Amino acid sequence: MDRGESVILDALQGFLPEQTLELLQDYLQNPQTFLQTLWRQTVLVTNKLSTVLSPLFAPLLARALQALNDSPDIVVLGFVLAAFFLVIQLISWVHRTMMYMTRLAFRMLGWALVFALLAVVWRRGPEATIRDVVVFVSKLAGYATLIKDIWLSEYKKFDAQTKRGGGVGAGAGQRTPSGGYSRSGNGW
């Protein structure tokens, strides 16, 4: 390889130990290593390929560059599309990151709840925990029954109001809307 490796190794002198620098220097600059052989072969194949393909693609490339020079709108459109594509990719990346973090947070919350429940069972014992769960579920069922009763009473009021043909203000001959719910003959 060329002088580039020694510049890199000189820059790494303050960061890496001396043994590591010697190992890197021996490995990178020894012509018998696999890396040096691979580098030489790659350079050789690339040079041969460029000399073979250069006469074929040079006229095509010249025509393409001339066409782009003659119509700058295509270049501007290409840059706009490239910018749009990059923005969409960035938004997609941010979306994936946010979804990952949200999923991670909810998983951590779920496991925290599991560990908290296990800690409660460990501290209070299984019998007291079961008793607490039964009390909590019974209070929750009582609350659900209260909500059901309130909902049914409101539904009965609404149903009675719609069967009468309206609510307040319907006595003077004017029809009032029934809150979006209408039966045949009762509506506006």
* Each residue's pLDDT tens digit, 21-48: 888 877 777 778 887 888 889 999 999 9
CA distance 69 to 3: 38
Max Cα–Cα distance, the chain, nearest Å = 107
pTM for this entry: 0.42
How would you class 5 by CB atoms within 10 Å of its CB: exposed for 0-12, middle for 13-18, buried for 19 or more?
A: middle
**Residue 5: pLDDT band with limits 50, 70, 90:** low
pLDDT digits (tens, 9 = 90+) for 53-94: 999 999 999 998 898 888 888 889 999 999 999 999 999 999
The values of phi and psi at residue 183, to 5°, are: -105, 170
* pLDDT tens digits, 91-127: 999 999 999 999 999 999 999 999 999 999 999 999 9
Alpha helices in 125-177 (DSSP H): 126-164
